[in-house]
Chain A
């Protein structure tokens, strides 16, 4: 009940934010929305299935580069098309990567995803002709539902139409993910997380289901990445670097991976916290490292773990 009221209040606040909040705060919410979508996917893999990926940034970068490449090089400006293309490309890449990675679990899975992430980073860095190398590729302003919003300047576009577009996409992603988590498929993933041996004799094809979870996570990652690239205006190789994957895991731990909305809370809090700490000190990484240690040691359930005593799916 309390959770429901809090959720409704948060949703209302997000809907009214363009009126109430400053443009600066709004531009901070945009990457938070994008990360939240990517993290919903990552959490299906980690929180629900029990597989920790250290290479999820690969798919975020893939989505961002799809947006960059399509807007700058191919002249495709419709964001709907960009998001769908990012999702499709992620599925294509995740097919071989996932087939290989899900053969392993625990640290081997984590290291293998890390390896693929760094492989992609090197590709982005070195293949100058395709990827723009270390300079990356610019992302042009996309069209939203066929509208160009030519009358708005960049900030007006981002904090107005694009804000609602990103919020709508996040809500849609959350609804889809909720369907997935609560489906028989989601239940099977939870069974796998608890004990793959047990899941097998109940009839769950463990490797296949892990693979499906990997594919879904990849698609969500790329959709988040495409959305992330628009306010940034640039896709660069750092997006695929392993520290970026680490940040994603950090956000998940911060928000609470046992809770369905943990990824969303984690993304929003991380972005605002990072902004606040960065404005105070150049040693923000030090502060964040200490914070991560505190979360892992004292609050392993993350922020939502503090609020909710029980552990919903």
Chain B
């Protein structure tokens, strides 16, 4: 479904990503774990076309997407929920979700896509008429993922969906994301806290200083000393 091979990314003169290689197969959920500043967000933003790889290839459904404009990448079926949620404050909750059904017509009918988004995040249904600015942090995260889902994507890219949320709401969002994987959608999650990595994650990539230093299952990661030294134990 998605494959990055030896991707190098520079921001100004400094190299942020070094030969990043990772892949997510069909209906697979993978997680990219690393500390703040390790390159998680840059990796995801490069997938979304905000950064152009200086070297390496990015393929989605067998086609190269490296260097395409962001909207074209979205149109191919990659739904993105950024770290800051990217909710439009001037639009209502309903409009925030609906916009994705208009920008990418075709595929499943809009009504079905909206119904699915509300089914996964039932809490949003009650807020449909609210403005995007009148939401809590957790609700914004939900809305962001619901909107990505309404794009009817084959791949969802979620940047730290649990970041900054109260412990009470984390399981709620985790359950919703797990429900999305059961729909057969491929998911790539970036996460800074290994304890937040959902148990159903098929494969884990650990990134440190722009390099992938580990690829394997969650269990293997827990047994790997180098990995634990980098991301284990710290933060709750």
Instruction: State whether A203 touches B50 (Cβ < 8 A).
Output: no
Instruction: State whether B70 touches A190 (Cβ < 8 A).
Output: no
Whole-angstrom distance between the alpha carbons of A30 and B82 in the complex?
50
Which B130-154 residues sit within 8 Å CB-CB of chain A?
A: 147, 151
Whole-angstrom distance between the alpha carbons of A194 and B70 in the complex?
17
Instruction: State whether B91 touches A200 (Cβ < 8 A).
Output: no
Q: Give the shortest distance, in Å, between B222 (CB) and chain A (any CB).
A: 33
B61 within 8 A of A: no
Chain A residues within 8 Å of B95, by CB: 187
Instruction: State whether B91 touches A201 (Cβ < 8 A).
Output: no
Q: What 1/0 mask marks residues of chain B from 49 to 86 whose CB sits below 8 Å from any chain A CB?
A: 11000000000000000000111111100001010001
Q: What 1/0 mask marks residues of chain A from 177 to 207 whose CB sits below 8 Å from any chain B CB?
A: 0000000100110110111011111111110
Whole-angstrom distance between the alpha carbons of A195 and B147 in the complex?
16
Q: Give the shortest distance, in Å, between A120 (CB) and chain B (any CB).
A: 31
- Identify the interface centre among B75, B91, B99, B147: most chain A CB within 10 Å of its CB: B99
Whole-angstrom distance between the alpha carbons of A194 and B59 in the complex?
30
Q: Give the shortest distance, in Å, between A257 (CB) and chain B (any CB).
A: 13
Whole-angstrom distance between the alpha carbons of A190 and B151 in the complex?
18
Chain A residues within 8 Å of B88, by CB: 190-191, 194-195, 198
Chain B residues within 8 Å of A187, by CB: 91, 95, 98-99, 102
Instruction: State whether A194 touches B90 (Cβ < 8 A).
Output: yes
Nearest residue (CB) in B for A193 is B90
Instruction: State whether B90 touches A188 (Cβ < 8 A).
Output: no
Chain A residues within 8 Å of B100, by CB: 202-203
Chain B residues within 8 Å of A194, by CB: 88-91
Q: Are A204 and B90 CB-contacts (below 8 A) given A187-B98, A197-B50?
A: no
Subset of 12 A-B contacts with CB under 8 Å = A187-B98, A187-B99, A188-B99, A188-B102, A191-B91, A191-B99, A194-B89, A195-B88, A201-B80, A203-B103, A203-B104, A203-B151
Other contacts beyond A184-B98, A201-B80: 10, CB < 8 A:
A187-B102, A188-B103, A190-B90, A198-B86, A200-B49, A201-B70, A201-B82, A203-B75, A204-B71, A205-B72
The 8 closest A-B pairs by CB, nearest first: A203-B103, A184-B102, A200-B70, A203-B74, A198-B86, A201-B80, A205-B71, A200-B71
- Residue positions of A touching B, CB distance < 8 A: 184, 187-188, 190-191, 193-195, 197-206
